[in-house]
Structure formats: C-alpha cells, structure tokens
Amino acid sequence: MRRIAVRANVTIGSGFHVGPGSTIWAPQSLAIGKDVYVGKNVTIEVDGKIGDGVLFANLAGLVGRSDHDLHDLGSSVRRSRWVGDFPESLSRETVIGSDVWLGYGAIVLSGVSIGDSSVIGSGAVVVGDVPSNSIVVGNPARVVGQRFSEDDLALHWAALTAAGHRILVGQVEEES
C-alpha cells in the first residue's frame, strides 16, 4: 500500500516526486521548488522554502526544533501540549537551498538555512546554518569540505541557471 500525505499549507513545483510513506506539511507555509525528489518515509514538518533540484534520500527529515512543550507541568511528555498548535511560538522558517542533497536518515531541525549546492551526509543532524557548497556530516553536523572548487561551482551554476534552476539561498555564512 502506497501511503503519502502532502497536507495543508504546502505548494509544490513541477517535476515533484514523493515516495511512499512520506509526510509533508507546514503549520503555516512551505513552498517547494521544481524538480524536487522526496524519497521513501521522509518527514517534512516545517515552515519555509525548499529550492529547485533538491534530493531527500529515504528517511530524511525536516522537523521541529521543539514539537512538545517540555515545561508543561502536570503532563507527561506524551500528553504535553504540541507547540504546532501555537505557530507564533515556532522558530524562524527553514530554508533548503537549490541543488541540495540530504543523505539517508539526515535530520535538519527547524529554523536552519542550508546553502545552495550543499550535501548533508547520511545520519547527520543539522542544528545550525550550513554555508553554500558545503559537505557536512555528523551529530551535530559540521563542515568537512566543499562540493566544488570556486571555478567549478561557477560553471555548475551557469549550467543550472541555463536549465531554469534558481539560486535560492546564495551564500550562507557559517555560524561561529
């Protein structure tokens, strides 16, 4: 059985693919670019933007930084208030640049910006912004290299923009 849920407040571009078992929704608004591939059992539950030509490998996730109120006195975590009921309390939007690959089981917490042409390694947990053209791995995720040299990145983006892809994030500065 192929269960897929693309729910309220989500807009999708052309060439969008979503695999079985995946769930995509936004408390307020999520705009997904063109030619985006979402693998099997992916969870996307954030407000924000996803650029063009993004690949979510199986089991990847964009999830809330705080889904339940951990300070809800007198309630078990299971019964605590879900902060999604209070969108004004959610952190800033999540932005995934164009031409980004999120590896198998990678998790990105809400409020993070991932720069264009970055690669997030399998199993990484991204808690802070990622500069464009970066390769990040680990928990918490850290930059371990660049995907392209400066010259190759310029050639790469010349070809992508000629094909209609847009630079969504541009240069995201690394957090110190």
- CATH number, domain of 92, equals 2.160.10.10
C-alpha span between 86 and 63 (Å, rounded): 16
Q: Give the model's pLDDT for residue 79.
A: 76
Q: What is the pLDDT of residues 129-152, one digit of tens each?
A: 999 999 999 999 999 999 999 999
C-alpha span between 75 and 77 (Å, rounded): 6
Average pLDDT, the chain: 87
Within a domain: 67: yes
Within a domain: 15: yes
Within a domain: 167: no
Q: Which residue pairs, CB below 8 angstroms and at least 24 apart, start in 36-40? A: 36/12
Within a domain: 44: yes
Average pLDDT over residues 83-97: 69
Q: Give the model's pLDDT for residue 176.
A: 40
Cα–Cα–Cα angle for 59, 70, 85, nearest 5°?
Answer: 70
Number of domains in the chain: 1
**What is the sign of the dihedral through the CA atoms of 50, 125, 117 and 111?**
positive
Within a domain: 156: yes
Within a domain: 166: no
> Which phi and psi (to 5°) does residue 26 adopt?
-140, 140
Q: Give the model's pLDDT for residue 83.
A: 61
Within a domain: 169: no
Q: Give the model's pLDDT for residue 86.
A: 55
The pTM (predicted TM-score) of the whole model is 0.86
Q: What is the pLDDT of residues 9-56, one digit of tens each?
A: 899 999 999 999 999 988 889 999 999 999 999 999 999 999 999 999
Q: Which domain holds residue 45?
A: 8-161
Within a domain: 173: no
For residue 49, the cross-strand partners are 31, 95
Average pLDDT over residues 90-118: 92
Q: Which 3 state secondary structure label does DSSP give 51?
A: coil
Q: Which 3 state secondary structure label does DSSP give 101?
A: strand
